[in-house]
Structure 1
Amino acid sequence: MSKLNVTGKELRAIGYPEGPVISVAMNVMQKAYKHKSKEEAFDVLKKILAAPKDYATDETFGSIAQQLMPKPKDVAGAEISLNQNGIHFNIFGQEHIDEGAMHQMYQAAKLPVAVAGALMPDAHSGYGLPIGGVLATDNAVIPYGVGVDIGCRMCLSIFDINPKELTDRESFFARELGEATLFGSGAQFNQAANDEVMENELFYQIPLLKKLHGRTWKQLGTSGSGNHFAEFGLVSIPEKDDVLGIEAGNYVGFLTHSGSRALGANIANHFTKLAIGKRRLPQEAKNLAWLGLDEEEGMEYWLAMNLAGDYASACHHVIHHKIAKQLGRRPVTMVENHHNFAWKELLDGKEVIVHRKGATPAGKNVLGIIPGSMTADGFIVKGRGETAAIHSASHGAGRKMSRTRAIQSVTDKQFRDELNKFGVKLMGGGLDESPFAYKDIHTVMQAQTALVDVVGKFTPKIVKMDGASHRSWKKKKDEIVGE
């Protein structure tokens, strides 16, 4: 039997109203009823529409029913006080975390919707929730708790190629790297790539996304600016791990780091404005304004956020497919993870919304990648499912210098010497992303041995980043922050 396909047009035809309920119903039915007939699916959909209260607590159909039930009137713009003490949160590697990030996490812990929190050893200041901050909330999502670059992602393809080829055929790998993707904040292709994510009905149902569809498609497979990169390097696997599933040895790895481009940024900024308008928090905490998942705006953000996450993943897959095609090899495995996202998870038996802003999911046996810098090793890790960290780990080494400070304090010669010392070929990049701007990745990893097990190592060799003039080694522009 073919998989069930429910369309928005069909739902509207049986009386479903415009709004998030259309997408919620499509998603639920295509998962829960994927091998049942369309008649069976629409029979239950009609029953839910007729009596949503009867299904409000149903494990499968509750999310549809709740969207159909009348919502309590929200007091727009009502002042909200922070809790005086706030929830307890655990800190990993506190001695490596700046005061600004600590202060932001203490503010987040005082939110009335906060349930649990944790701060990762790579943490530093951001907007709203600090980068490296993890916050669990009760039925609420904080757009700036996710961040501007929604679904920012690591993706590693491992190829059974002798790493010596990276040196012997450096010009070949550098050329393929240069042609695989585009860097720069406004970068887009003249000819768009194809991926099913661009056919998602949300692009036609949510006005904000409809306006962004054309640009989003042309940016599919691009990589942005800031700390985003694409690089070839040496992957070393000391021993076979059952979860990673490849033999011990040395391989060629292709690693990318980028997010959802203009799509994620527009979603974040649009819904943050809505959240701030609905909940007047004290000035120092206003970027922590939230939307309830029982509110239309909250559900709309949730759907848009998940679409941006799928889009970020598709961007990486487009790039990795190009590289695999040019290498003439299929990867022996691929490891990937989001780190600017919110998930529905169980904590102490209760469903909560876990925000990981610059934090890697580290549930039991969950694989991820924690990079260092353009010269420092990165690590393939396996989560230990540590509840004290809300099943999370760091997303990298973390900055120890702002972009402005890095440009002002690091010389061109120091930068070049550091690249030569580690035998790294850099294409693009600038002083603001130099290795000196980052914490020692080994110190960060030491602070989270209780959170992850290391199952492999990635050593960068050929690195491409944004090389735009505003990031030139010679120019000293204002700090540019990307989250």
Structure 2
Amino acid sequence: MGSKISGKDLIKLGFPQNNTINIGLSQIQRYRKREKKEKVLQEVKEVLLDPAKFNSHGVWGKLSESLVKPVEVRLHELLTHRVPFSIFGEDIIDERAKFQLYDALKLPIAVAGALMPDAHSGYGLPIGGVLATHQAVIPYGVGVDIGCRMSLSIFDLPASFIKGKDAMMLNILAEHTKFGMYETHKNKGDHEVLSRSEFQDIPLLKGLQDKAYKQLGTSGGGNHFVEFGIIELKAPRAEWKLDPGCYLAVLSHSGSRGLGANIAKHYTYLARKQCPLPQHVQHLAWLDLQTHDGQEYWLAMNLAGDYAKACHENIHQRIAKALGKRIALTIENHHNFAWKETVDGQECIVHRKGATPAAQGTLGIIPGSMTAPGFLVEGLGNQKSLNSASHGAGRLLSRADAKSSFSKAEMRKNLVDAGVQLMGGSMDESPMAYKDIDQVMNLQKELVQVLGVFKPKFVRMES
């Protein structure tokens, strides 16, 4: 079998006696260990004879690269200075989050950075951190939940539609939303994203396709939610064909589920192997976009983002069907992702880890908490924030501190006072664990303009 192939076998074929041998054996062990030795050796011989032919091959692309232009593995030291940055709402951001950004600003690939007013500490980049880099992508700068995003669907129905329909609204959420690692829909949906070629071209993704199919239209745990609420459109765009006023809306928050988590784990491992960094910043290891792994991560990341979008579409379609009403308008945005954008005249990779894209005219959703309002916003294109805004209110307390600081009675009172009915949810997601969303919005008036205010009424989270 392929797993019995040794370095001596590859040397016999003519492979150079360097790290190429290790890469070849690693790829064989990972992707070809159940195949016959003769067949595998024939394949790797073809790679040796014509490596350029395999430069984008899912299994042998990395081996091809090692023969043509090996990735240089060396310890990277941080710069002694920080690249330019801006902080919005500095007084309400914890020091640890700031220092995480300061470390990221010293990476040799860093170009510019920013911190949003909802920021708090995380792994790698802080949550609410934005970082522009040169020709490199940081998996932990994107985050584990790739493509975590907001989606707001507005119905051309007045706010009064929900009056006296508490049981109906709660039942729709109970029947047509699924949360956490194990809940899936009995009647599976389908989406064109599941037929994408990346699922066949990238071996890691091939093994995740079935999980992606099963989890389509589901939401994660933690702070992910689906909720009915009322949106007051203050300044609707003409193309929306909706007058100013209050409408029924559905708001959802979730990401790319197990697909994104596995992509993040795999490529973070590769990044840390290829890009050794000092211990305290090792979560900021990057992949050069000119390398096989860098290009592969970029494809996988974009697929995960499109899959997250498909999950939200499926959720909103199920709810609209249950309501028996058509969606008039959907507005959505990622807030855990990386984009190719121009910064100071050069193309960069802009990582937004818990930050909303806010280029001039770009629409986005900034939620509060299960009882606080969310905001439909239009970006003002502020270059100091790298065209970004906050992705929510941001945590005031850690999950552990929230659990120990508040009682269930306090949380229930908060919900009653706000007129919100909750299904599921846990103490670590208590509304009191979050910053004041109005204060956060006031601190980013130069980043976004508010077009509408969403008030949650019926909230579903993981039980």
- Taking structure 1 as the reference length, the TM-score comes to 0.82
Equivalent position SS for 1:187:
coil
Q: CA RMSD in A?
A: 1.8
Aligned twin of 1:278: 274
Equivalent residue, structure 2, for 1:87: 83
Partner secondary structure for residue 145 of structure 2 = coil
In structure 2, which of residues 348, 353, 375 is the aligned counterpart of residue 352 of structure 1?
348
Q: Secondary structure at 2:229's aligned position in 1?
A: strand
Q: What SS class does the counterpart of residue 150 from structure 2 fall into?
A: strand
- Distance in 2, matches of 1:436 and 1:18, equals 54
1:371 is matched with which residue? 367
Question: 1: CA distance between counterparts of 2:310 and 2:168?
Answer: 25
The structure 2 residue matched to 1:434, chosen from 422, 430, 437, is 430
Q: Identify the residue that residue 72 of structure 2 maps to in structure 1.
A: 75
The match for 2:234 is 238
Q: Matches of 1:212 and 1:423 in 2, distance apart?
A: 41
Q: Hey, what's the Cα distance between the residues in 2 that align with 1:16 and 1:315?
A: 37
- CA deviations 1:120-153 (Å, max 9, x no partner) are 0000011100000000000000000000000001
Secondary structure of 2:377's counterpart equals strand
CA distance in 1: counterparts of 2:68 and 2:222, whole angstroms: 41
Determine if contact 1:154/1:258 at 8 Å carries over to the other structure. Answer: yes
For 2:401 and 2:282, the matched residues in 1 are separated by 27
Q: Return the letter of the residue paired with 1:409.
A: S
Alignment of 1:54-453 (within 5 A): 72-76=69-73, 78-242=74-238, 246-453=242-449
Give the superposition deviation at 1:223: 0.3
Q: Please tell me the residue identity of whatever aligns with 1:73.
A: P
CA positional deviation for 1:69: 12
| Letter matched to residue 69 of structure 2 | P
Which amino acid in 2 is paired with 1:410?
Answer: F
CA shift, 1:71, in A, is 5.5
Residues 371 and 420 in structure 2, CA contact (< 8 A), matched pair in contact too:
yes
- Once residues 304 and 114 of structure 1 are traced to their aligned partners in structure 2, the CA distance between those partners, rounded to angstroms, is 23
CA apart distance, 1:333? 0.9
Superposition deviation, residue 164 in structure 1: 2.1
Name the SS of the counterpart of 1:171 in structure 2.
helix
Structure 2 unpaired stretches of 5+? 1-50, 59-63
Q: Report how far residue 239 of structure 1 moved.
A: 3.4
What's the CA shift string for 1:462-481, capped at 9, x where partnerless? 000000xxxxxxxxxxxxxx
Structure-1 residue corresponding to 2:17: none
Structure number with larger C-alpha Rg: 2
Q: Distance in 2 between matches of 1:396 and 1:71?
A: 46
1:380 Cα deviation from its structure 2 partner: 0.1
Contact 1:191 1:218 survives alignment (8 Å) = no
Give the C-alpha shift of residue 242 in structure 1. 4.2
- What is the aligned-residue identity percentage? 53
For residues 123 and 167 of structure 1, the distance between their equivalents in structure 2, rounded to whole angstroms, comes to 37
In the TM superposition, residue 188 of structure 1 has moved relative to its aligned partner by 2.8
Unmatched tracts of structure 1, length 5 or more: 1-14, 23-66, 468-483
What's the offset of the Cα at 1:187?
Answer: 2.9
Give the match for residue 6 of structure 1.
none
Alpha-carbon contact 2:366-2:390 (below 8 Å) kept: yes
Shift of residue 100, structure 1, vs aligned partner: 1.0
Once the two structures are TM-superposed, the CA of residue 185 in structure 1 deviates from its matched residue by 2.6
Deviation for aligned residue 1:21? 7.0
- Structure 1 stretch displaced more, 189-198 or 98-107: 189-198
Change (3 A) 1:411 1:117: same
The CA deviation at 1:19 is: 5.7
How far the C-alpha of 1:211 sits from its partner, in A, is 0.9
Q: TM-score of the superposition, structure 2-length normalised?
A: 0.85
Say if 1:134 and 1:355, in contact at 8 Å, map to a contact too: yes
Q: Indicate the SS of the match to 1:103.
A: helix
Residue 32 (structure 1) aligns with: none
Aligned partners of 1:312 and 1:428: how far apart in 2? 22
Contact preservation (8 Å) 2:364, 2:376 = yes
2:421 and 2:457 in contact (8 A); partners too:
yes
8 A contact 1:227–1:465 mirrored in 2: yes
Offset at residue 274 of structure 1 (A)? 0.3
Residue type of the partner of 1:373?
Answer: S
- The DSSP-based 3-state class of the residue aligned with 2:207 is helix
Letter of the 2:75 counterpart: E
- 1:326 is displaced (CA, Å) by 1.7
How far, CA to CA, are the matches of 2:334 and 2:301 in structure 1?
12
CA distance 1:329–1:16, change in 2 (3 Å):
farther
Distance 1:182 1:137 in 2: 37
**Contact 2:88 2:115 (8 Å CA) reproduced:** yes
What is the CA-CA distance between 1:241 and the residue it aligns to?
3.1
* 2:65–2:292 Cα contact (<8 Å) kept: no
SS at match of 1:454: strand
Q: Once the two structures are superposed, what CA deviation does each residue of 1:82-139 show, in whole Å capped at 9, x if it has no partner?
A: 0011212100000010011001000100000000110000000111000000000000
What do the CA deviations read for 1:275-317 (whole angstroms, capped 9, x no partner)?
Answer: 0001110001000000011000000000000000000000000
Shift of 1:342: 0.3
SS in 1 for 2:409: helix
Contact 1:365 1:382 in 2 (8 A): yes
2:35 is aligned to none
Q: CA deviation at 1:68?
A: 9.7
2: CA distance, partners of 1:341 / 1:21: 25
Kindly tell me the number of residue pairs found equivalent between the two proteins: 408
